[in-house]
Amino acid sequence: MNEIREGRVGEPKIVVVDYHKGNLSSVVRGLARAGAAAFASDDPEQIRNADGLVIPGVGAFYDAIAFMREGGEGAAVLDAVAAGTPLLGICLGLQLFFERGNEGVPVDEGVPADGGAPEQAGGPWVDGLGIMRGSCTRLESSRLKVPHVGWDQVHMTSAGAADPLLAGFAEGANMYFTHSYAVADDADAADVLARTHYTRSFPCIVRHGNVWGCQFHPEKSSALGQRILKNFVNIVEEAGR
């Protein structure tokens, strides 16, 4: 079911992509507080026609991408991105931007790991949206607890410090994480705006053109997380001018 909010004149229409894996209301509310006419939808045409898009972080890589492909949401997202629509991914939403992941993939449905995959990742793999180069793999540690849950530091690259999504964001700020998988070290360095160090150093904020992603949950990260949502709404407004 779509959760539609009527916005005031001039508010950008931001669709939170609903792939039927959880409650998206906290993301919708955060975007509304940031000045957007925000609502959740699984309708490919609403996705294509939005001023901005958010893919939230709920569920497992395989289940999410399978639903998005079957329902036409994945193609609609790619069409919107190609047309210049700003897109923000949160947690799993960020991971889906990459070429492949191995979370929750049935053995008989994935493809074997090939020579281009990180050695530690194994398989089988399922293709992601392919907006950014790289893989998403499980965090592994004999010392630290996985999943990675709680507040952790975000360390910006020079590109991140200059990016509009991170305007007013402090180097080393703590944001709220909850995940067992993360982008591996085969991501393009040019796409990485920030990193977090937990079991390994992984990209926690990425950007490729008009596509941004946060591994942490801005909607659960207090005032600084709300600032990121507001910055994204500003980006959407600028793109529409």
Just list the catalytic residues.
91, 217, 219
Query: Given its phi and psi angles, is residue 47 left (phi above 0), alpha (psi -120 to 50 degrees) or beta?
Result: alpha
CB 184 within 8 A of CB 135: yes
- Helix, strand, coil shares of the chain as percentages rounded to 5? 30, 30, 40
Q: How are beta strands 98-101 and 132-138 bridged, if at all? A: parallel
Q: Which residues fall within 8 angstroms of residue 224, CB to CB, at 6 or more apart?
A: 169, 170, 173, 175
Nearest to 192 by CA among 173, 217, 170, 165: 165
Token pair of 89 as six digits: 């991914």
